[in-house]
Structure 1
Amino acid sequence: MIKTRRELFSLQRTCASFAGLAFLAGCAATHVDAPKPTGWIKDEVADSYVFGYPLVLMETARDAAVGTDPGQAPINSLRHAQALPPVGSANPPTPSIDTFDSSGWLDLSTEPVILTLPDSHGRYVDARALDMWTNVVWSTSAQIGPRANGIKEQTVAFVGPGWQGDLPKNVKRIDVPTHNAWVTVRIQSNNGRDVTAVRKLQRGMRLVPLSVYTSAARSASIAPGGNAAATAALATSGTPAAQVAALDASGFFNRLAQELRDNPPVPDDPHALKILVDLGVKPDEPVKLPDANDVISAGFADGRERVVTPPPNLLSVNGWSWFGDGVGNYGPDYALRAYAAYAQPGIGTKDDEVRATVTMDSDGHVLNGANRYVIHFAPNQLPPVRGFWTITAYTKEGALGESAPARLAVGDRNGARRNRDGSLDVVVSSVRTRAANWLPAPRTDLQLVLRLYAPKPQATDGTWQPPAVIRQ
């Protein structure tokens, strides 16, 4: 036995001496490669999905909104909504009936784009710009005083990475870290009863490239849009979030790779990019994912689940949930950023707006319009705002219900009545009541959205709490 072992050792040593040569036949048995570990792939696919989700969602939203079809507008121009969202509309989900919205997508790759806003003469206006990673790079919220008193006439220039040049006098420069951006302007409306005044302000807006702004013609670039037919046409293709959810891993990461060239990560994150490279995802190159389909599929499913799951740093009280101080400027909090993009597309900072959502009553039962509910605001617990607040009822899918009048919201801008002690009760039901503050609800499972426009700090630092929804 000892001799046999020595002979075997001698043979192995002889073979090892020829390890650098091309011919090893007969020296040892055929070598079999051990399977490479694939556990890392699942985690990196999931992490990369959460990381890249906002960029792919914004790209999808941009492609759906830019064009000449009904409900679209050319790049670097504004599309103005000129009617309230139609009943049954859920694109976007939980559409606001408090404001008429204007929206424009920017291409900053060759020159700045100029936005001009008129004096709103005391009417509440909220304007903001988001980079392609959904960070807010500019908003008018800082201009709003202790009580919202509108905005003054102003002109701002959105400047992309690397641009060198001079801007016209009295134009404020806003540097944008990505070559594309999204601008939204929302004008307060009293349930659509003051459309003429809103449209006048819309006509005073202007969004054009710098070269057009400085030209002698100075032609306006405005796309009306916004009627019910156009909104319905866009809804047929599904929301951007639904379109992204329908992508497989190859489709998602190919879109991400295409956008990374012009829209690098914000903040710059070499580690996240290194993970993408490990997966075969490089800016503006065809994606070559590892040959591990089952593992990739598992990681992709995990990433999608994480995006739609509320992160632990959301504020949550009495069944309501809403974003706190970190919203709008996320830094490396990719989980919060992805969920915010999914749940509330275009959400601003803590100073712009708070949207609190509830789907359960105080007993933990799903809200349904067949029941009657009361939301009781104590005198010192009314929503803290510099602007105004409203509550709107939607179906669980985020559509305006069929109940008439379906476009009614309850809030301080439309004469919500207080009780003698200064408290305020909102009654929610699909059946008309004689309550002073009746909120019509869909005749189905529903959700309520409480909007605080220009909220005060206590709305996002945890000091203020919305009351529970109590079934009567």
Structure 2
Amino acid sequence: MNKDQSLIASVTSDPQAARCLARDAYIFTYPLVMNYRTMFMQAIDEDKAMGKWLHLGLSSPADTDIVTPNNDTPYSYAWVDLRTEPWVLTMPKIEKERFYTSQWDDYWGYVLDNPGSVNDGNDGLSVLLASPSWKGPLPKGVARVIQGETDVLGTLTRTQIIGGQEDLLRVADIQASYKLEPLSSFAGTPAPKPAPTITWPKWSEGDEAKEAYWSYVSFLLPFVSPNPDDQTMHETLASLGIESGTPWDPAALAPAVREAMQQGLEDGRAELKKLSEGGIDAARFFGTRKRVGTNYMDRALGVYMGIFGNVKEVSVYLSMPADAEGTPLDGGRSTYTLSFTREQMPPVDYFWSITMYKLPQRLLVDNPIHRYSIGSATTGLQTNEDGSLVIYVGKDSPGTAKESNWLPAPDGPFWTVMRCYGPGQSIVDGNYKRPDYVARSLNK
């Protein structure tokens, strides 16, 4: 009996084995399916399309496409189908003081590259986006090629807003200058024969927690170029009846196995939830395969906690889930202060911010002053004469004199993230010590 047959036999005869394998398969494929969810909303549903930009303004509580959105760099999304030919991204020249980066991920959530300020400066450039199988000379005028492990790539391109709402027109102008075009259009050559049309399955919210989840996995596997390092996981999927090019048929499985697979799915979800609730160094979640490798839990946690999170060389996200005593943050129980000495101010080349999220949704928080983040680029932020800074965090205003430094919180559990753009070496190395929240009971 070969390895595949042994796995299938164990699943058929032992539902507990199926449960364990399904848990592992869920963690392995979670980025694949959740990136599809995001792509469906941004590039397939309604009048959207592949290769078409979706430019947004500042994020608000109404935005629910992705969890933990930032409120510093209006987003531009796009997805490209590379089966027919590569595409070319061209970025414009912008002001030296403004941050921009065009992050590109594959379906697995690997961060492939970041053309823009940190890696290239602000003078603009063109890069080639290619499928895993593409080979060819680099076209004239193109700086480099970006390739992942899937035939579809997606971008979350960030453009810094400087000052506030009054800068949105300039941001929109920059966003309109981002260009995506097929290589044949860029090079002025005949377009190749198009790839077969895809009938994309409609995403239904909540499917990530249902048996339907496995149907998405089987649908997406043909768009993946399997990496030899993942062979064991592909064998695990096959043992559960999930293979590339074959629709998943749950009716072919025994009822006990289907029930066990659902339990395994729920085990995986429970583990992601539990691990996400601690103070985690999220920098390790995001990067190329060389960095993240086969640590499938880290890869899944990155997507679970903040899909399209970036690599630490470009921006570092420090989760801040608890106060100095280790108690989870809760605006219905306490108010908080966050005090930076002059020496503690985050060392960054561009800017830093702290963003507020309500739990368990990890979405922005409605508040009367429409402030969802606070940081070095916040208009009117007041520092003390000695260069120190105090931020007030709570559901109610700390008073008119302190409101410039107020980050509104929900009347209940919340979670915050400090983002550092163009981080200094101490942040990249993990040696920077951020201040802790100091809590004061609402009853005092």
Whether the aligned pair in 2 keeps the contact of 1:128 and 1:184 (CA below 8 Å) is yes
Q: 1:287, CA displacement in angstroms?
A: 2.3
Give me the whole-angstrom Cα distance separating, in 2, the residues matched to 1:273 and 1:395. 36
Of residues 36, 41, 57, the one that matches 2:13 is 36
Q: 1:215, CA displacement in angstroms?
A: 3.6
Residue in 1 aligned with 2:27?
50
Whether the aligned pair in 1 keeps the contact of 2:103 and 2:113 (CA below 8 Å) is yes
Residue in 1 aligned with 2:286?
327
Residue in 2 aligned with 1:30?
none
Whether the aligned pair in 2 keeps the contact of 1:328 and 1:347 (CA below 8 Å) is no
Give me the whole-angstrom Cα distance separating, in 1, the residues matched to 2:411 and 2:240. 47
Read off the aligned partner of 1:135 and give its amino acid letter. Answer: Y
Give me the whole-angstrom Cα distance separating, in 2, the residues matched to 1:308 and 1:365. 15
Read off the aligned partner of 1:404 and give its amino acid letter. Answer: P
Residue in 2 aligned with 1:200?
173
Cα distance change, pair 377–268 in 1 and its aligned pair in 2 (3 A): same
Residue in 2 aligned with 1:361?
323
Whether the aligned pair in 2 keeps the contact of 1:325 and 1:460 (CA below 8 Å) is no
Whether the aligned pair in 2 keeps the contact of 1:370 and 1:430 (CA below 8 Å) is no
CA RMSD of aligned residues (A): 2.8
Give me the whole-angstrom Cα distance separating, in 2, the residues matched to 1:89 and 1:137. 25
Alignment partner of 1:257 is 2:218? yes
Cα distance change, pair 461–141 in 1 and its aligned pair in 2 (3 A): farther
Give me the whole-angstrom Cα distance separating, in 2, the residues matched to 1:299 and 1:442. 33
Whether the aligned pair in 1 keeps the contact of 2:324 and 2:436 (CA below 8 Å) is yes
Kindly name which structure, 1 or 2, has the bigger radius of gyration based on alpha carbons. Answer: 1
Whether the aligned pair in 1 keeps the contact of 2:356 and 2:409 (CA below 8 Å) is yes
**TM-score, structure 1 normalization:** 0.78
Read off the aligned partner of 1:115 and give its amino acid letter. Answer: L
- My pick for the range that moved more, 438-447 or 42-51, is 438-447
Give me the whole-angstrom Cα distance separating, in 2, the residues matched to 1:89 and 1:277. 37
Q: 1:408, CA displacement in angstroms?
A: 4.9
How many residue pairs match? The answer is 403
Aligned-partner SS, 1:200: helix
Whether the aligned pair in 1 keeps the contact of 2:214 and 2:248 (CA below 8 Å) is yes
**TM-score, structure 2 normalization:** 0.82
Whether the aligned pair in 2 keeps the contact of 1:142 and 1:351 (CA below 8 Å) is no
Cα distance change, pair 277–246 in 1 and its aligned pair in 2 (3 A): closer
Cα distance change, pair 80–424 in 1 and its aligned pair in 2 (3 A): same
Give me the whole-angstrom Cα distance separating, in 1, the residues matched to 2:146 and 2:131. 9
Give me the whole-angstrom Cα distance separating, in 1, the residues matched to 2:269 and 2:111. 24
Identity %: 26
Q: 1:446, CA displacement in angstroms?
A: 2.6
Of residues 277, 299, 305, the one that matches 2:238 is 277
Residue in 1 aligned with 2:67?
93
Q: 1:211, CA displacement in angstroms?
A: 2.1
Residue in 1 aligned with 2:431?
463
Alignment partner of 1:376 is 2:339? yes
Residue in 2 aligned with 1:400?
364
Residue in 2 aligned with 1:104?
78
Read off the aligned partner of 1:125 and give its amino acid letter. Answer: Y
Indicate the structure with greater helix content. 2
Alignment partner of 1:120 is 2:98? no
Deviations 1:339-367 (A, max 9, x none): 11111011111112222333433341542
Read off the aligned partner of 2:384 and give its amino acid letter. Answer: N
Whether the aligned pair in 2 keeps the contact of 1:386 and 1:456 (CA below 8 Å) is yes
Whether the aligned pair in 1 keeps the contact of 2:283 and 2:317 (CA below 8 Å) is no
Cα distance change, pair 74–466 in 1 and its aligned pair in 2 (3 A): same
- My pick for the range that moved more, 132-141 or 47-56, is 132-141
Whether the aligned pair in 2 keeps the contact of 1:406 and 1:441 (CA below 8 Å) is no
Whether the aligned pair in 2 keeps the contact of 1:50 and 1:334 (CA below 8 Å) is yes
Deviations 1:39-76 (A, max 9, x none): 3222111111111111111112212211373xx63101
Give me the whole-angstrom Cα distance separating, in 1, the residues matched to 2:50 and 2:173. 23
Q: 1:244, CA displacement in angstroms?
A: 4.0
Give me the whole-angstrom Cα distance separating, in 1, the residues matched to 2:27 and 2:366. 35
Deviations 1:194-222 (A, max 9, x none): 1121122112110111122234999xxxx
